[in-house]
Structures are given as structure tokens and as C-alpha cells.
Structure 1
């Protein structure tokens, strides 16, 4: 049965550094306004997030970090906002997600230990 599985079909569910951008500078998502996430990211519950509301911003970032792929990170996350909110965000993420991001980006590791 394992021979019938397509390894690429499961790649979306494995969380490795290969799904991250090369640099936090690539994260060029919006910093203001309301963002509506597509169904492949937010398939249940709230889909529109007012970035001026910190709780909603954190909720959106949690969804994107947990469910997104590289193109989603680039489109919906902002590098400066990610670093600024990382001390709280890291507590909202599973260990696997948090570890991959902190192991890849020293800025997040430093923000998380501050």
C-alpha cells in the first residue's frame, strides 16, 4: 500500500524549511486594511481579518503560518510584522512550525528569546 502513495501528495502536510521563503524580506504581505484569506488557508470560521486589530492580525498570521506554503507566506505575511509579533505568535504555533521558522530565521529566534 505504501508503494501506491504519491510522496508529493503529502508534501503539503510536512512542515520543513523547504516550504519557507529564502529571507524574511520576501514577505511582502499587507500591513494595513482588511485581508480575506482564500479557502485553502481558512476553510472554517473567520476568513476576513482587519490588520488594525492585533487579535485579528495574530489570528490571521497563525492560520497562514500553520496552513500556508511559500507563496501564501509571501502574499499574506509581512516580515517586519512577523518579527514584531513573534514573541506572542510563537506561543500560538505548534512546536514543529515554531522550530522550523526559528531555526531558519535568526531574527525570529532572537525575537522569541527577548
Structure 2
């Protein structure tokens, strides 16, 4: 029996990630159908929730370019829970994301 596999979408270029970094962002229904699609990026943890949702649910690179920011993604990358396949795809395209998490390098 074949399982449906959602395609993994990766940004075309990290420089194209120019999403908002403050204020309230409302994701379109194709990215967040939960009914709680408003993300207050100034609230603790909500920006991580938004980034995780967009990374997992993106259907085209433009979704990533529109809602993610390069600097924020790079900062949050080590702490965002993602499937191994999704993380691997991004790190293969952008090796600079593959850095060691700060707490791991201190050991």
C-alpha cells in the first residue's frame, strides 16, 4: 500500500526570505487551517510556531519567501522541530544551516 507523501519545499535562495519579523501575521488557509492562523511575532514562542508551520506546510517556494526571514530562520534553525527529511533537504541546499547548536559545541 502506498502512502501519500507531501512534497518537501525548499526556498530558492535564503536571500529571498524577506517575511515580517514583528507584528501579527495571518497565514492563508493552505498553510494553517487550524482556525488559529494569527501569529503575534512579538509574543514568546509564536515566531517559532509560525516558522515551523510554514516550513512544514509550504506548497511552493513563494510561501517560504513571503513568510520567512533569512536572519530569523538562521537564528531559530537549531531549535525548530522538523522531520529529519525536511531538515536534511534544507541543509543540503543551504549548508550554512548545518551549524552545530550552541549547547552541543560547549560539551
Answering whether residue 37 of structure 2 is matched by residue 28 of structure 1, we say no
Structure 1: how far apart are the matches of 2:100 and 2:63? Answer: 22
Match of 2:84 in 1: 95
Match of 2:6 in 1: 13
Structure 2: how far apart are the matches of 1:54 and 1:95? Answer: 25
Match of 1:106 in 2: 95
Q: How many residues align?
A: 99
Cα RMSD (Å) of the superposition?
1.9
Task: Tell whether the 8 Å contact from 1:35 to 1:50 is kept in structure 2 after alignment.
Answer: yes
Distance 1:80 1:111, change over 3 A: farther
Task: Tell whether the 8 Å contact from 2:12 to 2:61 is kept in structure 1 after alignment.
Answer: no
Match of 1:64 in 2: 54
Query: What TM-score results when the alignment is normalised by the length of structure 1?
Result: 0.78
Query: What TM-score results when the alignment is normalised by the length of structure 2?
Result: 0.83
Task: Tell whether the 8 Å contact from 1:86 to 1:111 is kept in structure 2 after alignment.
Answer: no
Match of 1:4 in 2: none
Unaligned runs of 5+ in 2: none
Higher helix share: 1
Per-residue displacement from partner, 1:34-59 (whole Å, max 9, x unpaired)? Answer: 10000000011420001112411000
Structure 2: how far apart are the matches of 1:111 and 1:52? Answer: 26
